[in-house]
Amino acid sequence: MAAQGETPIAADQMDVARLYAATAHEMSAGWELQGLQCTSTGLQPHLRGSEWLAEACGPAGECVKVKAEDPAEALQGLADELRLRREEPH
């Protein structure tokens, strides 16, 4: 819900910004959050995409990408995937 004086869009952007920062902060040593982007390739209707892509890369050059319909879902999915990788026995 938007705080007083914020539009719903601004509030949503703040939530995504906070989640982005939290996801970046929780990365394992050597991992970096590379970005969050909309999969649209242009502004024309046939080029618009509704999915979001979150990506992180690790120290060995391995990258993990997660797509979702919502930017927060993409970031959360990335965090979940990296957590599973950390918990896997070596």
Question: Buried b / exposed e across 5-39, counting CB within 10 Å, b at 16+?
Answer: eeeeeeeeeeebeebbeebeeebeeebebbebeee
Nearest 10 degrees: Cα torsion 46, 13, 22, 70: -30
- Residue 26's SS3 state is coil
Determine, yes or no, domain membership for 1.
no
Q: Is residue 31 part of a domain?
A: yes
Residue 16 inside a domain? The answer is: yes
C-alpha 82/C-alpha 69 separation (Å) is 19
Query: Does residue 2 lie in a domain region?
Result: no
- Number of domains the chain is built from: 1
Residue at 3 is within a domain: no
- Asked if residue 43 is part of any domain, the answer here is yes
- For residue 36, being part of any structural domain is answered with yes
Residues of the chain with pLDDT under 50: 1-2, 6-7
Flag whether 45 is in a domain.
yes
* CB-CB contact of 45 with 34 (8 Å): no
Give me the domain span that covers residue 15: 8-87
In this prediction, residue 15 carries a pLDDT of 85
